[in-house]
Structure formats: C-alpha cells, structure tokens
C-alpha cells in the first residue's frame, strides 16, 4: 500500500496534513511541541500532531467536569443511544480505521479490522447494558424499613492505553464508562497517536450531531508525563491503565496516595500446558497463533509452553516445521503471518533478550534475528525464536514483548505442569491442551490455574468482549470489557428508607431523649 493510499484513508477519517493540535472534541488547542508518528511497516512518517501542554491539560479537565454535569443527568438508555450511534459510525469507518491500525501499529490487516470489530462489539454490549445497570434490594432488620443498593457515575475516567491495541482497549473502557454516566479523558500511546485521533474524530461527530458537549470524550497527546498528571489528579475519579507492570505500579502508587480508584490490566507471562492427552494438531494451531500473532506484542501472547517429556520431541518437531512455514512481511499483505515490532528499540531489545537467555542457559531451537533486505527497510522486522529453558531462569520470569517462546518440559502428573505455570509473578492468561476430563477440570479448579483467564483446548490469546478481561498478581487485578466489569466505573451507594412513625436503631440499640 502506497503512502498516497494511506493518506486517503486518513482523509476519510477526517485527518489532514495541515491539522495539528491537541484533540479536544473536534476542536484543537494550538501547541508548540509536536509528536510524529512513524510506521514500523516501512519506516515512513505518517503524520504529526501537537502535544498537550500542562496549560491545555487543565482546560480539558475543566471542560470535562462541565460536560459531566450534563451527561450524568441523561438517562442511561439514552446514553446507550449515543454509544449505539458511535458503533454505527465505526461500522462505516471500519475499513479506513482498520488499515490505519495495521499501518501505524504494525499488526496484520485482519487483526486491525478485528480490533475495530472489537470496538463495535463492545458498543453493542454497552447499549444492552445501558438498560441493565441494576442495584440490589435486601430485607432490613428494622420493621417498616426498606434497604437497597444503587450505582452512580464516578465523574471523570482517565484511560491510559498501550500501542499494541491502539483503539480496542480504549473502547472497552470508554463504552462502559459512557453508559455509566462518566466522561472520559484518553492518554493513548505516543507510538500510535493517529489511531487515537481518528477515534476522537468519529465520536466528536456523533456528539456534535446530538448537540452534546464534545468534552464527554477528550484526548491527551504526548508522553508519559500526561499519564502521571492523570494519576495524580484528584479530579480524575478512576484511572484505567493498560500496559507494562512497571507502568502500572507507578500509576497504582500515585492513585492510591490520593485514595483514588485504579483499574489495572498489565503484563502477562502466559503458558500453554500440553499433556500426553492433547490433540497436537489443535494445540499447534493455537500455539503458533498465540506465539507469533501481533509479532508477540499481545499481553495474552503465549510465552511459555509446558510440555510433558513423553511428547516433547514430537511437539518440538512439529513446531519447528510450522515456524519454517511462517511468512514475515508487510502486515497489509494478507499472505504474511507476522508483521514488524513497533519500532527499532523493540527489535534491539528482542535481540538483547535472546543473548541474555542463552547466557542464563536457554538452548535455541529456532534462533531469532533482525531481518534486513528488501521489504525490511524499517529494521523493525524480526524472525520468531524458540528456546528450551527452565521456568526458574530470571529471563523466563519476565515478559518479553516479542515473538520469543520458551519450551519447558515437565514430568509426572499435570499437577507438576500447573505448578510450573503458576510459578511466575504475572497471572493474565493460561491454557491447557488435553482431552482428559480430570486434567482439564483440575486446571479450572481452585487447585489449578491462578490466572484471570483459563482456557481449555484453545490458546492463551484472543478474548471475547462478553467476558471480563484481566488477570491477577502483577497483572494488576483489574477487569475490563464484559460481564459485570461496568461496576468498576461506578460508585456504590447503600440506601435505607424508614416509612414508619418511629426511629428504631440497628442491632436493637436503645437511645432515648
């Protein structure tokens, strides 16, 4: 795809070369510092957007506060109508936005379009949910009293998202936040600012068509300092942060210091257990996609496979053959299985990790490298690696955001495999490949996987929006997207109504005056 074609898609999304500034609704505040976006696909600069200053940050917060006063008074089903219109607008822009996601981030076109579909799906989910924001009624111990719980909007929800899902994770958060009556301020990754700007353009038009304040949805563009402003700002009721564990710890510390609320979806060190009772062809398909999809840059990427020693040689042989068939190149070419890493820094870090893994004792089965030559001019393309390692190696205990897969043999019963899987600091996604009922049920029991996501006979990567998404331990404990994740975006209130002519106290306490 040529640069001219990319610019056409940008134009269809309402982004022009001459448009610079900090996005606030559909208007812009002129700034001096700019942020350029480069595509890892070919190394070309896509565009430039101005960064948010501390002065304009305060303006945006003030406008968001004003917008919330109006937005929270609109009935939730009516707020759902706005989210429905946003979902319809995304359907119209799906091709343009999906191509931009693929080009600016580097994931395959199918994954880029799939990410926009996730946005559409969460909008559909949120529309239905807007009529189901239920509370609870319980019996009071006092006669002629009624007691119940209800939920109210928080106010401003700050969203910090990562480059690997430049639009979907924002939508998971913001669609739910909006139907709950909150306004949102989004700090996207500085590596994918144009994807964020495109989303802001789409929702700004929807808000404008309905004569609603554009500050219901705000955008901050720039570096980590803006995330720190959100984390430390007492006016921001909830900060939802998706990214590395290191970043999440910083956000959690700052938000906790002011007794605010945080929702954290952080790093993963996800394992697939393959037992002697596995369907190996099924396992291989899920494994290869989980390990190399998005070039290993998913928080749910399969980073470890824990294989029973009796089938180790067979798994290694089949996996090696599968890796030899992988096609690496432009993600806009649907024949390719794997695109680039996000930038040259990520590629160099990948190579240094491979070197360190060998120093610690890991044995290469398939060696990874930076690819050069025609089609690889950006120097962001790498070949995936497979190393045999021990789970206790320090390098295995950390998350490498690249296509590096560790093979860890186990012996004995599946209990040993589960113990290996759980023996890492992270707890996001997990998977077992087995057709043995006892093994799979044990894996899903309280004695099994300690992760927020536990799959049977599917891979670690790829989640539906209907289920709550997130993990335990250093993954942060937060839940986004489906199920009852909406409760994180609201404050709970317990109400007691006395409709008697007396004032009885709880626990039978007597107080006479």
Q: In sequence order, what E strands does 339-384 have? A: 363-366
d(CA 122, CA 115): 11
Compute, in degrees rounded to 10, the torsion defined by CA atoms 200, 346, 328, 279: -90
DSSP state of 374: T
**Residue 211: CB atoms within 10 Å:** 6
Cβ atoms 315, 288 nearer than 8 A: no
| 265 labelled catalytic | yes
Q: Are strands 429-433 and 270-274 parallel, antiparallel or unpaired?
A: parallel
d(CA 484, CA 123): 15
DSSP string, 151-181: EEE-SEEEEE--SSSTTHHHHHHHHHHHHTT
Q: Are strands 385-388 and 404-410 parallel, antiparallel or unpaired?
A: parallel
Look at residues 297, 288, 296, 357 and name the one whose alpha carbon lies nearest to residue 323. Answer: 288
d(CA 310, CA 306): 12
Cβ atoms 256, 233 nearer than 8 A: no
Beta bridge partners of 417: none
| 141 labelled catalytic | no
d(CA 205, CA 219): 14
Compute, in degrees rounded to 10, the torsion defined by CA atoms 370, 463, 286, 403: 10
C-alpha atoms less than 13 angstroms from C-alpha of 286 in its C-beta half-sphere: 28
Phi, psi angles (nearest 5°) of residue 185: -125, 120
Q: What strand order describes the sheet that includes 490-498?
A: 136-139, 145-153, 490-498
Spot the catalytic one: 123, 218, 299, 380.
Answer: 299
Cβ atoms 126, 481 nearer than 8 A: no
Helices 193-209, 76-105: crossing angle, 10 deg rounding: 150
Spot the catalytic one: 265, 439, 474, 480.
Answer: 265
Cβ atoms 24, 211 nearer than 8 A: no
Contacts of 2 (CB under 8 A, 6+ apart): none
Cβ atoms 172, 178 nearer than 8 A: no
Cβ atoms 207, 200 nearer than 8 A: no
Catalytic sites, residue numbers: 265, 299
């Amino acid at each position: 795809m040529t640069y001219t074609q990319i610019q056409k898609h940008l134009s269809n999304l309402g982004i022009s070369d001459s448009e610079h500034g900090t996005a606030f609704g559909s208007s812009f505040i002129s700034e001096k510092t700019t942020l350029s976006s480069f595509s890892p696909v070919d190394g070309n600069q896509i565009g430039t957007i101005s960064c948010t200053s501390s002065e304009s940050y305060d303006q945006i917060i003030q406008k968001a506060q004003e917008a919330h006063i109006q937005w929270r008074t609109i009935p939730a089903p009516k707020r759902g109508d706005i989210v429905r219109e946003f979902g319809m607008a995304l359907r119209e822009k799906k091709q343009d936005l999906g191509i931009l996601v693929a080009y600016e981030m580097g994931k395959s076109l199918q994954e880029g379009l799939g990410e926009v579909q996730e946005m559409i799906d969460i909008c559909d989910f949120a529309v239905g949910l807007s009529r189901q924001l239920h509370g609870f009624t319980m019996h009071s111990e006092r006669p002629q009293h009624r007691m119940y719980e209800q939920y109210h909007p928080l106010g401003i929800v700050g969203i910090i998202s990562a480059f690997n899902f430049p639009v979907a994770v924002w939508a998971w958060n913001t669609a739910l936040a909006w139907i709950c009556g909150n306004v949102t301020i989004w700090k996207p990754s500085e590596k994918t600012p144009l994807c964020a700007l495109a989303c802001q353009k789409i929702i700004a038009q929807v808000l404008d068509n309905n004569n609603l304040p554009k500050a219901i949805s705000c955008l901050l563009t720039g570096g980590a300092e803006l995330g720190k402003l959100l984390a430390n700002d007492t006016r921001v009721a909830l900060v939802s942060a998706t990214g590395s564990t290191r970043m999440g710890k910083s956000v959690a510390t700052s938000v906790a210091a002011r007794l605010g609320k945080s929702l954290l979806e952080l790093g993963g060190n996800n394992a697939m257990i393959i037992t002697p009772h596995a369907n190996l062809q099924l396992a291989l398909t899920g494994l290869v996609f989980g390990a190399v999809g998005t070039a290993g840059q998913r928080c749910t990427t399969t980073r470890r496979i824990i294989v029973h020693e009796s089938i180790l040689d067979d798994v290694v042989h089949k996996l090696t053959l599968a890796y030899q068939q992988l096609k690496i190149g432009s993600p806009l070419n649907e024949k390719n299985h794997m695109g680039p890493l996000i930038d040259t820094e990520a590629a160099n870090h990948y190579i240094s990790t491979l070197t360190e893994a060998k120093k610690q004792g890991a044995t290469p089965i398939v060696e990874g490298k930076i690819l050069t030559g025609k089609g690889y001019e950006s120097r962001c393309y790498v070949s995936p690696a497979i190393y045999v390692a021990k789970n206790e190696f320090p390098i295995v205990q950390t998350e490498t955001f690249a296509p590096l897969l560790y093979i860890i043999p186990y012996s004995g019963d599946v209990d040993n495999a589960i113990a290996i899987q759980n023996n890492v600091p992270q707890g996001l996604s997990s998977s077992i490949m087995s057709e043995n009922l006892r093994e799979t049920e044990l894996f899903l029991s309280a004695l099994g996987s300690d992760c927020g996501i536990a799959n049977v006979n599917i891979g670690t990567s790829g989640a539906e929006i209907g289920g709550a998404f997130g993990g335990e331990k250093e993954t942060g404990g937060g839940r986004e997207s489906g199920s009852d994740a909406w409760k994180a975006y609201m404050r709970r209130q317990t109400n007691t109504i006395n409709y008697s002519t007396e004032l009885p106290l709880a626990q039978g306490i007597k107080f006479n005056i």
